[in-house]
Structure 1
Amino acid sequence: MSRRLGRETALQTLFQHELGRVDLQFALTYTCEEFSVSEQAAQFARNLVEGVEKNREAIDHTIGRLAVEWNLSRLANVDRNLLRLAVYEILYSPEVPNNVAINEALELAKIYSGEEAAKFINGILGQLARELQNQVQS
């Protein structure tokens, strides 16, 4: 199974849902069919999308707190949704190591947004990972 494909599918789904106001389940089904996503990758994407939506308020609060001097609505749609996916994995998916969630977000940022966005995303996710590490050590 390609978790990267699942993450990419989840990103595309969240992007469609937010930007086009497309129903979340419709967007996920459409994306999976359009790009011939395997059932395993589709299930992984579904788990991510549902997890992000279920925890969106807390995730957005975390991003807003870490993105100093940036209003969440000012972020590019793709960057905002990449951050949501990665923050969801870091905070709510203990089976995914933080460095994996961060690296995957950076790779997708480079593809869908660019190097500058990847640096910005890395800064926010790195800060979150450090905060969590400091909590564990305390």
Structure 2
Amino acid sequence: MATRHLIRTIVLQSLYEWDFYKKNADLSQVITRNIDEFGPGIDEPQFVVNMVTGIVEHLKELDETITRVAPEWPVEQIAIIDRNVLRIGLYELMFADHEEVPPRVAINEAIEVAKAYGGVNSPKFINGVLGTVYKELIESGKLVDTPKPEKTEEEKDEEKSE
């Protein structure tokens, strides 16, 4: 598992636990325990801390975005995994350094985490919400669309053989 993918998984685990306990858990203890348990020796433990604390700091804005984009799904009624995968993806789209985490990578990573930990419809739901916000950010000029990277010859050959 790639380091950043593992980090997002630890972020999800930490947010899940914090959210499950109605935001009453000691977040720093939760993060430390999850890093120790799920990611001993990861290269960037501070990335986990920064991401979780950033999400919590922007929680109101992230949840308002979810409510605006998916009004038929009140945030508190979205499955706890999906709710927190959305928060991770939205945080990376709206507040992260896009040089470090390109928007398309943030969306793809959120979808992959949803595939691994969410329900059968989670990836489609996550993709729909994040895709809508991505388009809004581009249209508003807050984000510059980056073209998909060209596939290598090896990737093209792999697709043909599938």
TM-score, with structure 1 as normaliser: 0.92
Q: Distance in 2 between matches of 1:36 and 1:119?
A: 28
Aligned to 1:34: 37
Say whether 1:132 aligns with 2:144.
no
Q: Distance in 2 between matches of 1:31 and 1:99?
A: 27
- What amino acid is the match of 1:54? E
Deviation, 1:114, is 3.0
Deviation, 1:97, is 1.3
Q: Is the 8 A contact 2:10 2:39 kept in 1?
A: no
Q: Distance in 1 between matches of 2:44 and 2:82?
A: 21
Identity %: 39
Structure with higher RCO (Cα < 8 A, 6+ apart) = 1
Say whether 1:102 aligns with 2:104.
no
- What amino acid is the match of 2:19? E
Q: Distance in 1 between matches of 2:83 and 2:33?
A: 21
Aligned to 1:59: 62
Q: Distance in 2 between matches of 1:15 and 1:6?
A: 14
Q: Is the 8 A contact 1:5 1:41 kept in 2?
A: no
Larger Rg: 2
Deviation, 1:33, is 1.0
Q: Distance in 2 between matches of 1:59 and 1:116?
A: 21
Aligned to 2:121, what secondary structure does the other structure show?
Answer: helix
- What amino acid is the match of 1:8? T
- Give the number of aligned pairs: 137
More helix as a share of residues: 1
Deviation, 1:39, is 4.5
Gaps of 5+ in 2: 145-162
- What amino acid is the match of 2:139? N
